[in-house]
Amino acid sequence: MASCETSEPVTMTFKWNKYEFQLNVTKDTDLFTVKGLLFSRTNVPPSRQKLIGLGPGKAPADETLVGMLPTIESNQKFMMVGSAEVLEEPAPEDMREVAVDFDDVEYHPADELRKRAENRDKVQKRVQSVEIRVMNP
């Protein structure tokens, strides 16, 4: 593993959703802080982030220092996988409550159609011409 000098700056390049991000951190920065920086740029919460390419095998823990990563010296690009959090838009303050007053209305548009003689004749003609087959007596 690499030696960890605390004051040495490191540029990390992450790729996420076709975008590349460069983070300037020091070797004594832990991965949880790196995830926080990525959250500020991508809106992907740290709990949803998966960092790929930081080392062989299993992903390192959040407490791992950047200087302790085996691939940090080779200026390798890393990849982040995760979906961004959708921010809810605040409701407008002047939003008024809408009263539902349709229950009081006694008029229904279909009432006029039922009353027309031509429509009643069409329905009566259809009722007489349709054959009803009983499938399971």
Q: What is the 3-state secondary structure (H, E, C) of 70-88?
A: CCHHHCCEEEEECCCCCCC
Q: In this predicted model, which residue has the larger pLDDT, 71 or 18?
A: 18
> Is residue 115's pLDDT more than 70?
yes
Average predicted confidence (pLDDT) for the chain: 80
What letter would DSSP give residue 115? Answer: H
| 27 or 6, greater pLDDT | 27
Task: Please check the confidence at residue 34 and state whether its pLDDT lies above 60.
Answer: yes
Give buried/exposed letters for 70-90 (b at 16+ CB in 10 A, else e). Answer: eebeeeeebebebeeeeeeee
Position 4 pLDDT exceeds 60: no
**CB 54, CB 78: distance < 8 Å:** yes
Which amino acid makes up residue 67? Answer: G
Quote the pLDDT of residue 1.
Answer: 45
What is the share, in percent, of the chain residues with pLDDT greater than 90? 6
Residue 82 pLDDT exceeds 50: yes
pLDDT tier for residue 92 given thresholds of 50, 70 and 90: low
Give the separation between CA 101 and CA 9, rounded to whole angstroms.
66
User: Which residues make beta-bridge pairs with 30?
Assistant: 65
Residue ranges of the alpha helices (H) in the chain? 31-42, 109-115, 117-129
